[in-house]
Amino acid sequence: MIAIRRVPNGASRALSSLARSSRYAAPHPSRFTAARRPATTSTPRFSSTTTSSSTDPSSKPPPPSSSTTPPPPPPPKEESQPKKKRSLRPLIYSTLFLGAGLVVGNIVRFTVAPPPLPDAGTEMDEALQGKLREELDRLPVVREFAAKVAAAADSDAGEEEAEWVEVEPWGVGMPASSSSPSLLATAAAVLGGGSQRRDSGVVLVEGEERKSKGGWFSGWGSSKKDPVVAVSETLLGDEKHMVSQTLAAMKGYGPARRWVNRATRESVTVFWVGGGLSGWPGVAHGGALATAFCEAFGTPSPAKLTLTYLAPTMASNFFVLEAAPSPTPAPSTDLPPQKDMTKRPVPSEERPADGGEEWSGKLRAVQGRVCVKATAVVAR
């Protein structure tokens, strides 16, 4: 029996000694593992048999390993399947989109910033104009009028009595009557000199009497009349002609052919409008077209010229200009007189002293679409 003596602090010395021993001495692991091991019975050391019993009935000894056990067969190899052909659809789509992008890009590039056109008189310009002449001769309207002239030349009537005659495409004047024996000679006389006012190489420009409106130069409220001024302008031959020489190039007024009817004085001009005559990119300038109408009407400065632009006139194309004096009816349109300037009557104060002669014309594409129509009042 252990005697327990109380210590002053109220705890027993035995408990304190046990606590001290457990504090500084680690427990032996065999004290805990011995209780967990299953109970076994062993025979003496030199016994022939040894029996053991386990508390776990489900545990069985592993089967004896034998070196003669064959290895497990290898897994069956998967049969090699044929490779699928790669689709060409992505390649086709890529090629199509690449080609479309290149085409659209070049169109936009040449529309916004076209390449520079060759200058007049260069070898490139002459070569391109030669190609344009060949294309001009193949046009249906050119073949039609060329056949008419050839048929009239082969007939018994001769060239002098032919209805349609081919003349120089650009000239200052057209004959006021059909009394001239040959329009070819008349065209030469126009450029080289003649007797009539409209057919000569000398053009007389007369200033009109008008009241001064006053202002900075003539005083306020002045009713002084300006004097009549007469200026003589001499055309120095065909080499100085604006349309046929100065602006004659692949980028300007290109190759042209013109036919005139002796009886009616109607004219048909087929000519090339180059890219250099464009105001807006790709569209021919209205002033250049007005100059072509003045050439067709036979005067460089009509008393009154009115134009109505019906459709864009795309440059770098052939066009057909038809002109005829009144009373040939002008080409009709659906526009009212408020919008169609060619339908408005010409006041008497805007006519020349002799009353003038009215002309009408239209500019159409080779395909037949009317682009511009014009009317003019010229001196007789």
pLDDT digits (tens, 9 = 90+) for 314-331: 999 999 999 998 764 445
Q: What is the CATH number of the domain that holds 359?
A: 3.10.129.10
Mean pLDDT, rounded, for 77-106: 84
- CB 178, CB 263: distance < 8 Å: yes
Residue 266 in domain: yes
Task: State the Cα–Cα distance between residues 160 and 183, nearest whole angstrom.
Answer: 9
The overall average pLDDT reported for the chain is 70
Q: Is 188 exposed, middle or buried (0-12, 13-18, 19+ CB in 10 A)?
A: middle
Q: 285: domain range?
A: 123-185+247-378
Residue pLDDT, tens place only, 142-157:
999 999 888 887 776 5
Instruction: Tell the burial category of 252 from Cβ atoms under 10 Å away from its Cβ (0-12, 13-18, 19+).
Output: buried
* Span of 145-149, 249-253, 337-341 with lowest mean pLDDT: 337-341
Q: Tell me how far apart the alpha carbons of residues 281 and 283 are, in angstroms, rounded to a whole number.
A: 6
- Residue 213: the pLDDT is 39
> Count of domains in the chain?
1
Residue 143 lies in a domain: yes
pLDDT computed for residue 202 by the predictor? 32
Q: Per-residue pLDDT for 166 more than 80?
A: yes
Asked if residue 130 is part of any domain, the answer here is yes
**Residue 134 CA neighbour count, 13 Å, CB half:** 5
pLDDT for res 278? 87
Contacts of 347 (CB under 8 A, 6+ apart): none
21: pLDDT strictly greater than 60: no
CB of 171 closer than 8 Å to CB of 295: yes
Over residues 28-46, the mean pLDDT reads: 54
Ordered alpha helix ranges (H), the chain = 13-24, 30-36, 89-112, 123-137, 140-154, 183-192, 286-297
d(CA 129, CA 274): 11
Residue 99 has what pLDDT?
Answer: 94
The rounded distance, in Å, linking the Cα atoms of 294 and 308 is 14
- Whether 5 maps to a domain, the answer reads no
Q: Tell me, what's the pLDDT at 149?
A: 87
pLDDT at 343 over 70: no
pLDDT for 4 equals 54
Model pLDDT, residue 270: 95
Residue 56 lies in a domain: no
Using CA atoms, how far residue 220 sits from 208, 209, 217, in Å, is 21, 19, 9
**C-alpha span between 106 and 232 (Å, rounded):** 51
| Nearest Cα to Cα of residue 304 among 356, 364, 354 | 356
Q: Tell me, yes or no, whether 57 lies in a domain.
A: no
What is the average pLDDT across 304-310? 91
Q: Would the pLDDT of 187 be above 60?
A: no
The most confident of the ranges 178-187, 335-344, 359-368 is: 359-368
Task: Band the pLDDT of 182: cuts 50, 70, 90.
Answer: very low
**27-36, 140-149, 259-268, 283-292: which range is least confident on average?**
27-36
Residue 300 lies in a domain: yes
With respect to residue 133, please indicate whether it lies within any of the assigned structural domains. yes
Please state, in angstroms and rounded to a whole number, the distance separating the CA atoms of residues 186 and 168.
10
d(CA 270, CA 260): 12
